[in-house]
Chain A
Amino acid sequence: MYGAAAAFGGMALASCSGAPFGSLRSTVHFWNLFGGGDGARLSDMESNFVDSNPNLELESTTLTWGAPYYTKLSMSTVGGRPPEVAVLHQTRLGAYAPAGLLEPLDPDMLSDYDIGPDKYLPAVLESAKYQGEIFTVPLDTHPQVMFYNTDICKKAGLLEKNGDLKPIRGADGVIDAFKKAKEVTGEQGVAFAPLDGAVPWRLFYTLYGQLGGEVLSPDAKEVVLDQEKAEQAVDFLVELTVGEELTAPTQDYAAAVAQFQSGNAGFHWNGEWEVTTFADAGMPFSIVPFPSIFGNNTVQADRHTFVIPRGVAKDSRKMDAALTFISSMMKNSLIWAEGGHIPAYLPILESQKYKDLTPQSNYAGVADDVILDPNAWFSGSGSDMETQAAVPLQQAMAGAVDPKQAVDDMRASMQELVDTPSPL
């Protein structure tokens, strides 16, 4: 008898599709992929939101960066119970907007929450659109930069009298500087991570971009990889790892960061987001934009944006909560900028407080020179194209294949992706 009662009680509970411990306040479910230093800053921004919005509850979930996060986000939206707000890399818009997974954001509605189209640089706003409609609210631009250890560079004679880094330009100039740094450290001249799933692509795309190369046609139906320019880009990377042995070809992301942090490398190529790691470690460092190796300052970057998954707009209360949250986070994005990112929100970007942030402001101007990954359903941060390109690049940097072979392999895997029937 008790068993039957328990069974019925259980079944009743099971019919609740949501958490049985729900409250009467509106809850903002927020998904992100920020760990480490970014995660800590996010928490600060979230606290500010919670404090200034007592009528809203916040549930923030962090999932593993890359495919695990994006897979869950799409499945959740398809399943009909998505989070109210999620983070999306701008370069993934091509996989989400045409798939109908995002709510379009009306410009007037955004303006009501102080996050309207006038609050961003035109180029930034353009990238937030798909077929003329706004789908994302850009939070930041995060480019690749060059970190340098001020002590090591001083000993290597690479600093000006006022302590700034002497301009490093051109392939030879860069190699020269790294060599000098290696002489001082005795280990590596520069530390970056050939063994990572994303880093090889970011560096390749930067160098290739500096040569003016395009990867895909604008409609993403053709691979237009320029063999000569691509090989030149790969050549340079190989020169650093195998040729001049200025960096270890088999270190992963964590190891590269650790090497720079512990002073075993004079330079570090990475996204600016690691500024917190090095600042917290108390090591002597600064940041300059990624060097112009092939004649200009083009550099790979992506943008973190806020999106509202499809289905949220059906409930106006949820929509209001979502926009309130996004607005609050944007207004708090100075905290985010302290983590190294270049804020997209003009009131913050143009504020004196941001301009006073060093070394973040050293590279704020880079925002004009950034190139984002090509727009396609299979490309972008954490995408197949990025991870597949990493393999031949890794092999080339390890000296296992020659640059021509690596470029051929990259072209082949890109071609395969282009040929795959689009699931959208």
Chain B
Amino acid sequence: MAAGTQSAPERSKVAGTGMRDRIMGWLAFAVLLLAAIVWLIPLAWTVDTALKVESETTTVPVTWIPPSGFTLESFGEILAGGNMLRWYFNSFLTSSIITLAVVLLASLAAFGFSRIAFRGRTFLFFVIIAGLIIPPQILIVPLFTEMNALGLVDTYWGIILPQIAAPIAVFIFKQFFDGIPHELEDAARVDGASRLRVYWQIWMPLSRPAIAAVAIFIFVLSWKNFLWPFIVVTNTDMMTIPVGIATVQSSYGVRYADIMASAVLAGLPLIIVFLFFQRQIVQGIANTGLKS
């Protein structure tokens, strides 16, 4: 049976253009749509509550559109409180430095592993990758002891330093570097360029996709990180956003519009990062997953 001699019913079975497939397609879409709506409701309700007047957040039965209409007063209160802006700064500062440090240190190390045949390279790489199995949660007690001995409790470096040791970044970079052909650096080495120069002027520009993936991933993860900043920081002015909104209470009791406003403000930067860098994040996860 040569191709092209298929009959019409057979062709419809293959290409999914038959009636049954069409119906299945629409069914799938409907189910997905329902699931997506259910998934979006919590976020929508959070934003909705944050836009309400406090007294109307607890009315029964619940309404999506409150009688007094929408207002930004909760956002105003949270921002005027002073803590939120400082927490934004803390999160931004620590996450940026962590990201920079991880990209730099991990790519340098990965370059070494990938391109320099030094003694002990396999062993050291194995040691680093083995670190993937160490959950950070089991380290909180000794890490606090260590950072306290260094006098770094309640400091930015206290937040930053432990988060720099990210074996996953070395793994991702090495995978990427292994895929780059050797000819490029061979030519440069012949011209007498030092390895560092090769790394900086040839490698890094070539690795933009990997850098972007690692940078965004680490930035998001470090911003999201709750446990370690929670342990190492106790002063309100040093807290990152996730720690601040979970720890500091309003002295006026439970005010749901305010709480939801702080939740929205806390999540907003990451959502914005996500919207801008969706493709990189998703691709980063996908590629890492496939390579694993």
Contacts and interface: CB of A to CB of B under 8 A. Distances in A.
A72 B100 CA distance: 30
Given A10-B96, A14-B94, A35 B148 contact: no
Interface string B109-148: 0000000000000000000000000000000000010001
A261 to B, nearest CB: 14
Interface stretch (A57-65, A87-95, A209-217): A57-65
A374 B268 CA distance: 48
A21 B144 CA distance: 26
B251 A16 contact: no
Nearest to A73: B234
A236 interface: no
A20 B155 CA distance: 12
B274 to A, nearest CB: 23
Q: How large is the interface on A (under 10, 10 to 19, 20 to 34, 35 or more residues)?
A: 35 or more
B249 A64 contact: yes
A14 B157 contact: yes
Contacts of A35: 249-254
A76 B235 contact: yes
A151 to B, nearest CB: 26
B95 to A, nearest CB: 10
A81 B154 CA distance: 7
A34 B153 CA distance: 25
Interface string A42-67: 11000000000000000111111000
A14 B153 contact: no
Given A63-B248, A76-B235, A13 B157 contact: no
A13 B157 CA distance: 10
A40 interface: yes
Contacts of B94: 14
Nearest to B159: A14
Contact of A15 (B89, B100, B153, B156): B156
Contacts of B86: 19, 21
Interface string B239-282: 00000000111111110000000000000000000000000000
Given A14-B97, A14-B157, A75-B234, A39 B248 contact: no
A79 B249 contact: no
A14 B93 contact: yes
Most A CB within 10 A of own CB, among B89, B151, B154, B235: B235
A68 interface: yes
Contact of B248 (A11, A20, A36, A62): A62
Contacts of A15: 156-157
Interface string B160-199: 1000000000000000000000000000000000000000
Given A13-B93, A34-B251, A59 B237 contact: yes
B236 interface: yes
The 8 closest A-B pairs by CB, nearest first: A79-B153, A39-B251, A76-B234, A14-B156, A19-B237, A36-B253, A81-B154, A62-B251
Interface of A: 3, 6-7, 10-11, 13-21, 29, 32, 34-37, 39-40, 42-43, 59-64, 68, 72-73, 75-76, 78-83
